[in-house]
Amino acid sequence: MKDQNNEKLDFFITQEGKQVKLDIPVEGMLGLLAYGDIGLKAWRKKRTEELEKIKKVKK
């Protein structure tokens, strides 16, 4: 049962095959988590990236 969205973390492919870029808020959103493991991973990735950015700024 593989779906097309396997492991693509910051955009997803709609049922019509269209690629949609996800604008993930760093605070998260329920809709993303309702999307399941992909949404959770995408949010965590975003959080990590934001943290990295903050760290860089601090440096």
Partner 1 sequence: MGNRISKRVLLIGWDGADWGLINPLLDAGKMPALEKLINKGVIGNIATLDPPISPVLWTSIATGKRADKHGILGFVEPNPDQGGIRPINVTSRKCKALWNIFHHEGMKSNVIGWWPSHPAEPINGTVVSNYYQKVDNSDEKKWFMPNGTISHEGSKKDLFNLRFHPSEITGDLLKPFVPLIEKINQDEDNRLLGIANILSQTISIHSASTWVMRNTEWDFMGIYLDAIDHVCHGFVKYISPKMDHISESDHEIYKDVVEGMYIFHDMMLERLVELAGEDTTIIITSDHGFYSDHRRMATLPKCNTAPTFEHNPFGMFLISGPGIKKDERVYGASLLDIAPTILALFGLPVGKDMDGKVLGTIFENEIKTDFIESWEKIDGDFGEHSEIDQEDTFESAEALRQLVELGYIEDPGEDKTLAALKAGYEAKYCIAKIQITRKNFTEALSSFEELYHIDKTDIRYNLELLRLNLHLQKFKEAKEILENLRTIPDAGFVHLSFYDGIIAFNEGDSIKALDFFKQAEKEGGGGSGIHNQMGMIYLQLQKYDEAIEAFSKELNEDENSYLAYYGLGVSQLHLNIFEDAADNLLNSIGLIYSYPPSHYYLGVALYHLERFQDAANAFELFLKLAPTNLRAHKWLSKIYGVHLLDKNKQIINQNYSQQLMKGQVIIVSGLPRSGTSMMMQILEKGGISIFTDEQRIADQSNPKGYYEHAAVKRLSKDNTCIIDANGKAVKVIAQLLQFLPDNIDYKIIFMHRDINEIMSSQQKMLGKDPSIFPFAIAEAFKKELSRLEKWFKLQSNIELLDINYSDVIANPEIEILKTAKFLEDFNPNIPEMISAVDKELYRSKKI
By CB under 8 A, name the one of 6, 21, 55, 56 that touches partner 1: 6
Half-sphere exposure of 56 (CA within 13 A, CB side): 6
Cβ proximity to partner 1, 2 vs 55, nearer residue = 2
The one segment of 16-24, 29-37, 49-57 that binds partner 1 by CB under 8 A? 29-37
Question: Greatest CA separation found in the chain?
Answer: 45
Contact status: 34 vs partner 1 (CB under 8 A): yes
Where is 57: in which H helix or E strand?
Answer: helix 37-58
Query: Residue 3 in contact with residue 13, Cβ under 8 Å?
Result: no
Which parts of this chain interact with partner 1 (CB under 8 A)? 1-3, 5-6, 15, 25, 27-31, 33-38, 40
